[in-house]
Structure 1
Amino acid sequence: MAANRDLLIELFSEEIPARMQAKAAADLQKLVTDGLVEAGLTYASAAAFATPRRLALSVEGLMAESKPVREERKGPSASAPDKAIEGFLRSTGLTKDQLELRDDKKGQVYFAVIEKPGRLAADIIAEVLEKAVRNFPWPKAMRWGTGTLRWVRPLHTILCILSDEAGAEVVPLTIDGITSGDTTRGHRFMGPDAFSVVSFDDYEAKLKRAKVMLRAEERAETIWHDATNQAFALGLEVVEDRGLLTEVAGLVEWPVTLMGRIADDFLNLPPEVLQTSMKEHQKFFSVRNAKSGRIERFVTVANIETPDQGMTILAGNEKVLFARLSDAKFFWENDLRVAKAGMDEWADGLKSVTFHNKLGTQFDRVDRIATLAAEIAPMVVADAEEAAAAARIAKVDLQSEMVGEFPELQGLMGRYYADAAGLSPAVSAAAQEHYSPLGPSDTVPSAPVSVAVALADKLDTLTGFWGIDEKPTGSKDPFALRRAALGVIRLIVTNDLTLPLSKVFGDASWSADLLSFFHDRLKVFLKDQGIRHDIIDACIAMPGNDDLTLLVKRAQALSETLKTDDGENLLQGFKRANNILTQAESKDGVEYSYGADVKFAEEPAEKALFAALDAAEAKIAPAMDAQDFGSAMAAMADLRGPIDAFFTDVQVNAESEIIRRNRLNLLSRIRTICMSVADLTRIEG
């Protein structure tokens, strides 16, 4: 068989949107490599690349041809109806005289022997690539000209070559009038002439000479290196934004980093406004003065080197930016006027904004949140009046012009406007922080007023939607209720709060169902911390399961205990005691739940267990009252030795009925003490 070869594919087109490039490269790799393997071609390694104008795939160590395949398939018996035999022939692609008759347990049976000869790699590649191109999973695709092919933007050329030490050959194929070759083009303006390539290394090197950086990570590194160096030279720093960096690296094939000025008119705008406006509209990086915190310059990334070192490009960008920031300044000044007047205009405006047709307006919702925040305030050591006041202004920035233009600034602008209105720092902070935490990695507020309003906001959402029976179903969660519940959990647990949820829910018909929803979210939260679901179930089964802080502490302590030898062996001892008890109670028709007396103890191990249970009870009861679950679990784990010794040395089902009953009641003490800490019957294993 011939030596392995390397495959290079490039699909060269008009600009691919930056947000689609990474997935498209991964899709090309998967479609082609999966197709090759299915057809019997294995390979050593593969890597995919994307620039704005091309998708490329390099496959190394590809077999030169597929191995021959011999497949045997058992068919119907020789006496089967003609239709059954005809169906088998259709499935195999053979004729009846090509089948073999073989003896089987039930008589003679037809067998099909299908032999597929090995195929050249080029033939397989052509088929696989055409199928991949024609079925490519673009989120949006277009047709152009008179062809039938759909691609994200018009596809111009297909490069497809197999290479080894002897040279390269084109894999011949034609898709919708586009015939494969060994040529590509570089940068649209700085390297437009076509050139041929003989290998991946040759391809990447010639692209670079033609002003194209093939690798997205290299483009990103170049942008960041040049931007930070330019900023450092002026004593400034670039505001880090990984998402923007990835996006901009997908907009250029040859990044040229340029730094421009922001006009003095705009330097006093809040830095977040400048940053958001420049990022959203212009894809500019913000450059900050670390001492003042002000955004003073911007970095833009051009796709071309110019004789004037980008001065014309910068001048054009600065002109467009001036117009954009003039709008932002107009919004800011208008909003400050309303804020300084007390923000009543915005609060009234919430009356005309529907939150949900069954839950009223945003104004109604704010009213509910303010009432709930005042109720929660004492539990989080916040001032009730301040918490209610913060809740009343927390949503008003939704009516501001700035948040209308940049919705992602909601909350943050609320803080600026509350400051401008002369409100207390705690109230201003709550305007910004009450939305948090938004996700599992978002920071959790700790200021008491912020915590009160954040909890009230999320709990109002959850109780409201449960009240109108609009709960998440399957993967659908249009009102982000799972996220709200996780936010409540993180606020309570991170701040070590005692906030029994039953107090918040009251005696509503849906309260148990909503508490169960919280428990499900808590399982996800604790699973990420390495705590098993059965351990959480064992703790949920205990009283006080609406106090999430208590529940988490109990679960963490039980999890740690069960990781020790004593804990694991105690669990086995408990399960053994519980099994013996359950069987005896079922057989005798009575409950052995009290009455164990040490005076009936005969064996030393039996007497030792009485003493150990007395000692454990004396430690566990006060530890549980103090919510010191670690000490309670440790005292419970200390029972491991006495329980093991008891089962080794003592026969529970003694001949004397009095002794047997006493020993069963002793086992009941084990069950009662262990079950006072957690429902160990729910622990698996």
Structure 2
Amino acid sequence: LVEWPQVLLGTFEEDYLSIPAEIIRLTIKTNQKCFVVRPQGETDKLSNHFILISNIQATDGGREIMHGNGKVVRARLSDALHFWKRDQGDLPDLDTLKASAAKFDLDLQKPLDQRMAKLDALNVTFHAKLGTQGERVARIRELAKMLAPIVGADAALVDRAVVLAKADLRTEAVGEFPELQGAMGRKYALLQGEDASVAAAIEDHWKPNGPSDRLPEDKVGLTVALADKLDTLVGFWAIDEKPTGSKDPYALRRAALGVVRMILEKGIRLPLASVAKDAYLLSFFHDRLKVYLRDQGARHDIIDAVLTPEADDLLMVARKAEALTAFITSEDGLNLLAGTKRATQLLAAEEKKGTVVADGVSDALLKLDAEKSLFAAIQSASKSAAEAVAAEDFRSAMQALSTLRGPVDTFFEDVLVNDEDAAIRANRLALLKAIREATATVADFSKITG
């Protein structure tokens, strides 16, 4: 902050523009608190100028200030250029890296492969209870192998991206600028001739880094990002390092939200229970899903109605919520809500009192036309709803169930549920139970308000 701002223009040699723009930008911004400049009309390329703000109006027009800042910037960029070039060269101890290279199928003729082998050989710790970075990459590799066919990604490209994803942690550029993790890996990967999808995945496996950050570009990146975040969550749950209150030192909420966003926004059918075997971890994903859907405008009661404790297909849950939101305000939706609520509320009250409910409906115990008609309607609606749910056409399933409104109303007008005959009473309650079971294939309508 300055009291008497004077804008000056500094310069450095054009040779330094061979350094990636991200490094130049961080060098000038972080170390000198100055602004980089782009040539007019350019979107990515930088110019060899920078803007600095002085707090005095110098008598020489600021020439000495510009010269002094230029010297410092040039020295910083000289170091950055050194890092950039060294990272593209061979490491001096390649013979000691052969075991690690064999473990991860690495090519020690390539600089980035050498850095990954070095990361493993040094046994760099990821977490005291979760092992080294090399062990973590091995876990992510196995997980990504399972996820690749689910996402629809090329398995060979996914495997290559995984083994190189953490390699830039051993580069000098990332050692100096940790915020360039992934971005530098992508550049080094392209320089050594890696597939564009592999290079993109190396950068994108860190994403998304928040609710507004972009998702990975393609299926290879999505697979590696999912494997990375799921390994983090499963690992920290296994050692009981869960978020508590406002404390989340390992950014596990952000990781879980990232998984939710990738699944929903990219349409991935991933059964989370196959990975997140801990019921509490699945519940944690549910909490992040609720946050995401509420931010998208979904009503909390509709989310609760479609989300069961064992639900592990988050995409299915989101689609049910979307269909229910659209349907519930229609005339058919109101009929469905009224009919099912009337039946399930009476059933719940009797169950609470301990009243016996038959295991199934007996045709022989159906005495009145209204209860016979209701049973026939339940059978027909259940069959149609089940077929629609199997086809994931949830609106049609709800449409079929809404036809129960008329038979339910007639049933309650003409039939006394609590008949003196215990068998008939239990059979009639079983009819109401059948309604609850039929509608439960779509949602728990008792949780919907209004």
TM-score, length-normalised on structure 1? Answer: 0.58
Deviation at 1:597, TM superposition (A): 7.9
Is residue 523 of structure 1 aligned with residue 280 of structure 2? no
Aligned to 1:652: 416
- Per the alignment, in what secondary structure is the counterpart of residue 288 of structure 1? coil
Aligned to 1:263: 13
**Letter in structure 1 aligned against 2:64:** T
User: Structure 2 vs 1, CA of residues 552 and 645 (structure 1 numbering), >3 Å: closer, same or farther?
Assistant: same
User: Structure 2 vs 1, CA of residues 610 and 456 (structure 1 numbering), >3 Å: closer, same or farther?
Assistant: same
Deviation at 1:301, TM superposition (A): 2.2
**C-alpha distance in structure 2 between counterparts of 1:518 and 1:338, whole Å:** 43
Aligned to 2:80: 328
Cα-to-partner distance string for 1:15-48 (whole Å, 9 max, x where unaligned): xxxxxxxxxxxxxxxxxxxxxxxxxxxxxxxxxx
Aligned to 1:546: 312
- Per the alignment, in what secondary structure is the counterpart of residue 482 of structure 1? helix
Cα-to-partner distance string for 1:354-404 (whole Å, 9 max, x where unaligned): 111111111111111112111211111112222111111101101111111
Out of 46, 51, 57, the residue aligned to residue 305 of structure 1 is: 57
Contact residue 462 and residue 485 of structure 1 kept, 8 A = yes
What percent identity do the matched residue pairs reach? 49
Contact residue 302 and residue 321 of structure 2 kept, 8 A = yes
Is residue 562 of structure 1 aligned with residue 328 of structure 2? yes
**C-alpha distance in structure 1 between counterparts of 2:275 and 2:359, whole Å:** 39
Is residue 425 of structure 1 aligned with residue 204 of structure 2? no
**Letter in structure 2 aligned against 1:284:** C
Is residue 581 of structure 1 aligned with residue 332 of structure 2? no
**Letter in structure 2 aligned against 1:503:** S
**C-alpha distance in structure 2 between counterparts of 1:677 and 1:597, whole Å:** 30
Higher relative contact order (CA 8 A, sep 6+): 2
- Greater share of helix residues, 1 or 2? 2
User: Structure 2 vs 1, CA of residues 437 and 613 (structure 1 numbering), >3 Å: closer, same or farther?
Assistant: same
Is residue 349 of structure 1 aligned with residue 118 of structure 2? yes
Aligned to 2:214: 443
Contact residue 306 and residue 321 of structure 2 kept, 8 A = yes
What pairs with 1:253-652 in structure 2 (closer than 5 Å)? 253-289=3-39, 290-291=41-42, 293-296=44-47, 297-338=49-90, 341-351=110-120, 352=122, 353-505=124-276, 511-541=278-308, 545-564=311-330, 566-568=332-334, 570-584=336-350, 586=353, 588-591=355-358, 593-595=360-362, 600-603=367-370, 609=374, 612-640=377-405, 642-644=407-409, 646-647=411-412, 649-652=413-416
User: Structure 2 vs 1, CA of residues 623 and 259 (structure 1 numbering), >3 Å: closer, same or farther?
Assistant: farther
Contact residue 446 and residue 495 of structure 1 kept, 8 A = no
Contact residue 357 and residue 429 of structure 2 kept, 8 A = no
Aligned to 1:672: 437
Deviation at 1:313, TM superposition (A): 2.7
**C-alpha distance in structure 2 between counterparts of 1:644 and 1:630, whole Å:** 22
Contact residue 168 and residue 182 of structure 2 kept, 8 A = yes
**Letter in structure 2 aligned against 1:567:** G
**Letter in structure 1 aligned against 2:148:** A
Deviation at 1:584, TM superposition (A): 4.6
What pairs with 1:114-193 in structure 2 (closer than 5 Å)? none
User: Structure 2 vs 1, CA of residues 308 and 493 (structure 1 numbering), >3 Å: closer, same or farther?
Assistant: same
Gaps of 5+ in 2: 92-108
User: Structure 2 vs 1, CA of residues 276 and 653 (structure 1 numbering), >3 Å: closer, same or farther?
Assistant: same
**C-alpha distance in structure 2 between counterparts of 1:593 and 1:569, whole Å:** 25
Contact residue 4 and residue 56 of structure 2 kept, 8 A = yes
**C-alpha distance in structure 1 between counterparts of 2:4 and 2:364, whole Å:** 87
Between 657-666 and 524-533, the greater mean CA deviation after superposition: 657-666
User: Structure 2 vs 1, CA of residues 596 and 254 (structure 1 numbering), >3 Å: closer, same or farther?
Assistant: farther
**C-alpha distance in structure 2 between counterparts of 1:287 and 1:642, whole Å:** 73
**C-alpha distance in structure 2 between counterparts of 1:608 and 1:488, whole Å:** 47
Cα-to-partner distance string for 1:82-117 (whole Å, 9 max, x where unaligned): xxxxxxxxxxxxxxxxxxxxxxxxxxxxxxxxxxxx
Contact residue 557 and residue 629 of structure 1 kept, 8 A = yes
User: Structure 2 vs 1, CA of residues 587 and 492 (structure 1 numbering), >3 Å: closer, same or farther?
Assistant: closer
- Per the alignment, in what secondary structure is the counterpart of residue 388 of structure 2? helix
**C-alpha distance in structure 1 between counterparts of 2:291 and 2:28, whole Å:** 38
Between 560-569 and 459-468, the greater mean CA deviation after superposition: 560-569
**C-alpha distance in structure 1 between counterparts of 2:226 and 2:35, whole Å:** 35
- Per the alignment, in what secondary structure is the counterpart of residue 315 of structure 2? helix
Contact residue 362 and residue 427 of structure 2 kept, 8 A = yes
Contact residue 207 and residue 214 of structure 2 kept, 8 A = yes
User: Structure 2 vs 1, CA of residues 578 and 346 (structure 1 numbering), >3 Å: closer, same or farther?
Assistant: same
Contact residue 350 and residue 362 of structure 1 kept, 8 A = yes
Cα-to-partner distance string for 1:46-77 (whole Å, 9 max, x where unaligned): xxxxxxxxxxxxxxxxxxxxxxxxxxxxxxxx
Deviation at 1:292, TM superposition (A): 7.2
Cα-to-partner distance string for 1:434-477 (whole Å, 9 max, x where unaligned): 00011111111141110111011111111111222222222222
- Per the alignment, in what secondary structure is the counterpart of residue 260 of structure 1? strand
**C-alpha distance in structure 1 between counterparts of 2:365 and 2:321, whole Å:** 33
Cα-to-partner distance string for 1:139-179 (whole Å, 9 max, x where unaligned): xxxxxxxxxxxxxxxxxxxxxxxxxxxxxxxxxxxxxxxxx
User: Structure 2 vs 1, CA of residues 577 and 504 (structure 1 numbering), >3 Å: closer, same or farther?
Assistant: same
**C-alpha distance in structure 1 between counterparts of 2:404 and 2:309, whole Å:** 21
What pairs with 1:45-84 in structure 2 (closer than 5 Å)? none
Between 621-630 and 418-427, the greater mean CA deviation after superposition: 621-630
What pairs with 1:220-239 in structure 2 (closer than 5 Å)? none
User: Structure 2 vs 1, CA of residues 631 and 317 (structure 1 numbering), >3 Å: closer, same or farther?
Assistant: farther
**C-alpha distance in structure 1 between counterparts of 2:271 and 2:359, whole Å:** 34
Tell which structure's C-alpha radius of gyration is larger.
1
Contact residue 592 and residue 664 of structure 1 kept, 8 A = no
Cα-to-partner distance string for 1:198-236 (whole Å, 9 max, x where unaligned): xxxxxxxxxxxxxxxxxxxxxxxxxxxxxxxxxxxxxxx
User: Structure 2 vs 1, CA of residues 654 and 324 (structure 1 numbering), >3 Å: closer, same or farther?
Assistant: closer
Deviation at 1:614, TM superposition (A): 4.8
TM-score, length-normalised on structure 2? Answer: 0.85
User: Structure 2 vs 1, CA of residues 655 and 554 (structure 1 numbering), >3 Å: closer, same or farther?
Assistant: closer
Between 629-638 and 455-464, the greater mean CA deviation after superposition: 629-638
Contact residue 271 and residue 294 of structure 1 kept, 8 A = yes
Cα-to-partner distance string for 1:285-332 (whole Å, 9 max, x where unaligned): 222234473110322222333454433332222222111111111111
Gaps of 5+ in 1: 1-250
